[in-house]
Amino acid sequence: MTALKISSLNRRAFFAFAAAGAAGATLSPIEARKALAKEAMKDDKSAAWYRFPLGDAEVTVVSDGVLALGPISGLYPKVPKDEIEAFVKARFQAPDMTVFQENSLVFNTGDKLILFDSGIGGSKAFGPGAGRLQTTLASAGIKPEDVDAIILTHGHIDHLSGIMSADAKRLFPNAQLMMAKTEFDFWTDEAKTSATGVFKMLVDAARANLLPNKDRLEMVENGKEAVKGVQAVFTPGHTPGHTSYVLNAGGKSLLLTGDAVSHTAISFRHPDWAFSFDADPAGAVASRKNLLDMAVADNLPIIGYHFPFPGIGNVAKDGEAFRFVASPMTL
Ligand SMILES: [Zn+2]
C-alpha cells in the first residue's frame, strides 16, 4: 500500500486508499447501498419535540418547523455583503437562504402548564416549513385545552400566530395570555392599521391574535414573576416590549432569549451586527449584549427560539464577543 498524506485526502484519494485495503470485497460501499434501496424515499417531516427535567419541573421544546428567511445579506443589510456571506459560508450555512427554526416551549411547573410563543400558525409568509405546532404538541401528548397560559416574548407573526385559528377560534381555549404592556399596546395601536407592506402583515397578524384575547390578558413586569417560576426580563430593541424569561425550578434555571438573540452564530460572534427585523437596532444590540453578559455571569443555560433544534446550550465569553456551545440532547 502506498503511503498517503492524511491532510491531502479528498474523496477520490480516500476511496483509492480504502479500496487498496479492501482487496477481495465484491461490492464497494456505494454499490452495496444501491442494492439495499428497495423502498420509496419518504419526504415527510418528524414532529420534533424534546423533553427534559428542569429541577422539579419539566420542559418540552416543541418545534413549529422552520422559516425560510432568504439571503443572509438581506437580514444584515448594514454588514458588507462579502463579509456576511463569508461569515456564514465559513460556518457551512448557505448565504442565499437563511433557515431559522421555531422552538416553542412548554413549561410544566407541576401546577401550571405554560406555552412560550405559539409559532406562525397558518401563515406561509416564510415558506411552507412552519406552522406545525399543533401536530408537534399532539405528538408530545400535550393537549391545547390543558395549557393554562401562553406567555409571549413579543408580537411578531412567527411567535404569536398560533394563538388563533384561521377562522378566529382560540386554539388554546383555557389559556391566559401574558406579555409586556408596551408590546401589546404597540401592536394593537389603531394608528398602525394604515401600515403598508411587511409591517402591515405584522400588524394584521398581531391584531388577529391579540385583540380576541384582550379579556384574558395579563401584563408581565420587568424583574417580576409572571407566574411562579417564570421571571420576566425586559429586552427591548427587537420590538419595543420584547421580553426574555428565566425559568426557575428546584434550583435549576433556563433563560429563554426570544429574539434578543436570534442567530446561532452571528448574534454571539457579532452581537453588534444589526438584524433587519430589529425595530430599534441600537436598543437591540444593547439588550443582546446585556442578556448574554447575564447568561455568562450567572452561568445560565439558554434556549434560542430560532436556533437549530432544540436550541439549548451555554454561553461563554470570547474576547469582546460570545460563543454558543450547544448542549447534547439526552434521549
Ligand atoms: Zn422571531
Helix (H) / strand (E) element for 22: namely none
Give me the residue label for grid cell 460501499.
29
Give 13 Cα–ligand 1 centroid separation in angstroms. 44
Per-residue pLDDT 10s for the chain (331 aa) are: 455 565 667 888 888 877 776 655 555 666 666 666 788 888 888 889 999 999 999 999 999 999 999 999 999 999 999 999 999 999 999 999 999 999 999 999 999 999 999 999 999 999 999 999 999 999 999 999 999 999 999 999 999 999 999 999 999 999 999 999 999 999 999 999 999 999 999 999 999 999 999 999 999 999 999 999 999 999 999 999 999 999 999 999 999 999 999 999 999 999 999 999 999 999 999 999 999 999 999 999 999 999 999 999 999 999 999 999 999 999 8
Give 305 Cα–ligand 1 centroid separation in angstroms. 7
This prediction has a pTM of 0.91
Neighbours of ion ligand 1 (CB under 5 A): 158, 259
In sequence order, the 6+-apart residues with CB closer than 8 A to the CB of 313 are 301, 302, 307, 324, 325, 326, 327
Give 290 Cα–ligand 1 centroid separation in angstroms. 19
Longest Cα–Cα distance of the chain, Å, equals 78
Task: Output the DSSP codes for 240-307.
Answer: TT-EEEEEEETTEEEEE-GGGS--TTHHHH-TTSPPTT-SSHHHHHHHHHHHHHHHHHTT--EE-TTS
Q: Are 262 and 255 in contact (CB under 8 A)?
A: no
Which parts of 146-196 fold into alpha helices (H)? 157-160, 181-188
Give 119 Cα–ligand 1 centroid separation in angstroms. 9
Cα separation, 316 vs 325, whole angstroms = 8
Give 153 Cα–ligand 1 centroid separation in angstroms. 9
The CA-atom distances, in angstroms, between 114 and each of 77, 99, 226 are 36, 27, 11
Cα separation, 50 vs 114, whole angstroms = 16
